[in-house]
Amino acid sequence: MDMHFDGKVVVVTGGSTGIGYSAARLFLEAGAATVYVTGRNGAKLSQAVSALGDKAVPVVADSAQIEDLEHLRARIEADGRKIDVLFANAGIAENNDIGTTDEALFDRIFDVNVKGVFYTVQVLLPVMRDGGNIVLTGSIVGNKGMERLSAYNASKAAVRSFARSFANDLKGRGIRVNTLSPGVTRTPIMENGLKMDEERIAGFEAYLKSASPIGRMAHPDEIAEAALFLASSKASYINGVELSVDGGFAQI
């Protein structure tokens, strides 16, 4: 599907690696004039933006910190730009066991995945163009309820709820809001967040061969393409939905 973002201004949070990085690259390839890319780690973000090229603008920001989001908004204002597309993608995943989950872990997940998504949208709305598009990154676990992930699962269910509410809240401005819910995707979050080693990742891949109709994990580009679709004019009558891009894993 041919999707054009010629001259558009895009913000991708959590764009140093994985789905966010793929989305930033694809938005640029589709003609975006500027893509603001955020990440918490300055070195990783600089490396990513260097590969993306001159039209990518790095902004070191933690989505859980409102002052960081305000800094991002101030940068966009100072550049004299308005956002056409906001891809609120930043998120974390960690295992937790019911009965032994400490408050710090719970707060960490909800601060980034719930508070971070809410305030990313709220803080950037003043620099969002009427008729623009917002895509939130959810997950199939918001519906599936996978074990040892209850806090993460619940945080992504909240994201799905935000899209429903925001679509109503922003209808007066003509801003569409949708949730993109990936299935199992091969990104660094497996090692960095879920602490999976290569043996466990290989075991999960083997499990998916029979458990998922498509029989494999997704490549980040496959998820990012769906984000571009939701943000494009091709999806002009799609609003408030959850698009599960999971190879059928949670659908059967």
Residues with active-site annotation: 152
Dist. CA 229–CA 135, nearest whole Å: 10
Dist. CA 155–CA 169, nearest whole Å: 21
The DSSP symbol for 115 reads I
Chain center to CA of 205: 23
Taking each helix axis from N to C terminus, what angle separates 42-52 and 18-29, rounded to the nearest 10 degrees?
A: 30
| Tokens (6 digits) for 8 | 């558009």
| Tokens (6 digits) for 76 | 């966009």
Chain center to CA of 208: 23
CA distances to 154, 156, 182 from 159, in Å: 9, 5, 13
Taking each helix axis from N to C terminus, what angle separates 66-78 and 116-124, rounded to the nearest 10 degrees?
A: 30
| Tokens (6 digits) for 170 | 């922003």
